[in-house]
Amino acid sequence: MATVASTSAPLIEKHTIGYVPPEDRHGKVRDLFTLWFGGNIAPLPIVTGALGVQLFHLNLVWGIVAILVGHLVGGVLMALHSAQGPQMGIPQMIQSRAQFGSLGALLVVLIAGVMYIGFFASNIVLAGKSLHGVVDSVPVPVGIVIGAFGSGIIGIIGYRFIHVLNRIGTWVLGIGIVVGFGYIFTHIQTDDFLTRGSFNLSGWLATVSLAALWQIAFAPYVSDYSRYLPADVKVSSTFWTTYLGSALGSSLAFIFGAVAVLATPVGMDTMDAVKLATGSIGPLMLVLFLLSVISHNALNLYGAVLSLITLVQTFAYRWIPTAKSRAVISIIVLLACCFAAVGASKDFIGHFVDMVLVLLVVLVPWTAINLIDFYAIHKGQYDIQSIFQVDGGIYGRYNPQALLAYAIGIAVQIPFMNTPLYVGPVSAHINGADLSWLVGLLVTSPLYFWLANRDTAYRRRMTSGKLASSL
């Protein structure tokens, strides 16, 4: 049955983690393309993409191949999460209660909140560096604060404003990055642009993993930005607009970082390399990236705040959070991140790589469980009222099957890990190649499907037995 979407929506979002009713639905599916395309052309993906040649020593060709493979594979998972939004009408983290239980989901929500805060802090560091690159008289710490408050204003206004800014950003940043590529390729400043680096399996897999993780990292909040769409929007439409926007935008940004680093002398900071490689248009590129990171970072703040609200509402279930609650929590998170970012800015890349490698381990089992549960077990049919009940309603406080699969999904990755804190024996045997994320997906998905189906069959038999005994 078709739903009726609102023809006009308030600029300041009034909903937080609650269900979005049909009369408040608005927007068009194509907004998802512009959101994820424009949002991904930013300094952080540029810095991350540069790591393939900078840290993992791939050459340009193999770096590009690894980037494309990672985004095309990870983007599938990310877009499948996005397609849940119109059907559910609730944020992704609240929906996790249907898989893990009202209390069992707390661990996943906490991990997601930490992830958002980490990305927010990382992005405001890059905002500070970008602003300093444009205006030398502005110190990086001051730029960090300015970038944080710019993102804060956007995040507090909320959903609709974020979409509007990214519709504009898609055109401006899309044209800007194409012009930037053109300038770099016609002003290469190194003789080893095509020959620096070489293929190595561990570096190639590490770059694929970083690109895939970039997509998977959106999974816990991607449906937050599709949940206002009318419920009768086709799943395929939501999937493809999200997938194409995110995979294309992020791939362009990753490749841009790799190209800029190879076009400049070895050892330069990535954003300094971008400024040097783009020459006379460098200041303009930095201004565009500064505006982009401020706009894009609002998503991380928005996601962090929704996660924190979800954590609190789990215990204060009578609390109905409002736009004012979201604004207050946003300011608290913003101030805390400013202090953390100023302290971490000197070793930003090292901290960031450490964080994403850890996230890779804990996010993959969650995304596998969520997608299997939504598409294969429940087929998109959930009891929304139970999700908001303190005892989890029909989903209970804990789902042992999901928690068991999640724990095993993390454990099986350990031998295949390659992080600064720990290198697994399998990874060490294959020259440091990190296959943990792939193993986590391949093990967790069928394991949860089997456990969940056994549990469903058991409940069905119990229900049939009770009905038979009562007759």
- What average pLDDT values come out for the chain (471 residues) when binned by 10 residues? 49 74 85 90 88 91 96 95 92 89 88 83 82 83 88 81 82 90 90 90 87 88 88 92 96 95 89 87 83 83 86 79 83 86 64 66 91 92 88 89 95 86 81 81 95 69 41 35
Residue 244 pLDDT: 96
Contact 58, 52 (CB under 8 A): yes
Residue 180 pLDDT: 92
Closest C-alpha to 2, from 18, 19, 20, 25 = 25
Residue 60 pLDDT: 95
Q: Domains of the chain (ranges plus CATH)?
A: 22-388 (1.10.4160.10)
Let me know if 143 is exposed, middle or buried by CB neighbors in 10 A (0-12, 13-18, 19+). Answer: buried
CA separation for the pair 106, 444 (Å, rounded): 19
Q: Find the angle CA(230)-CA(367)-CA(113) to the nearest 5 degrees.
A: 85
Residue 328 has which token pair? 């207050």
Contact 427, 415 (CB under 8 A): yes
Residue 465 pLDDT: 43
Residue 136 pLDDT: 82
Closest C-alpha to 261, from 421, 427, 60, 79 = 60
Residue 255 has which token pair? 């490749």
348 to 48, 128, 388, 403: CA distances (angstroms): 11, 12, 38, 33
Contact 174, 35 (CB under 8 A): no
Strand partners, 418: 423
Average per-residue pLDDT for the chain: 84
CA separation for the pair 297, 303 (Å, rounded): 10
Strand partners, 423: 418
127 to 235, 277, 285, 330: CA distances (angstroms): 35, 19, 13, 18
Q: What is the pTM of this model?
A: 0.85
**Token pair 């068991």 in the structure block, residue:** 404
435 to 52, 209, 232, 363: CA distances (angstroms): 16, 8, 38, 14
Contact 254, 207 (CB under 8 A): no
Q: How many CB atoms neighbour CB 406 within 10 A?
A: 24
Contact 125, 148 (CB under 8 A): no
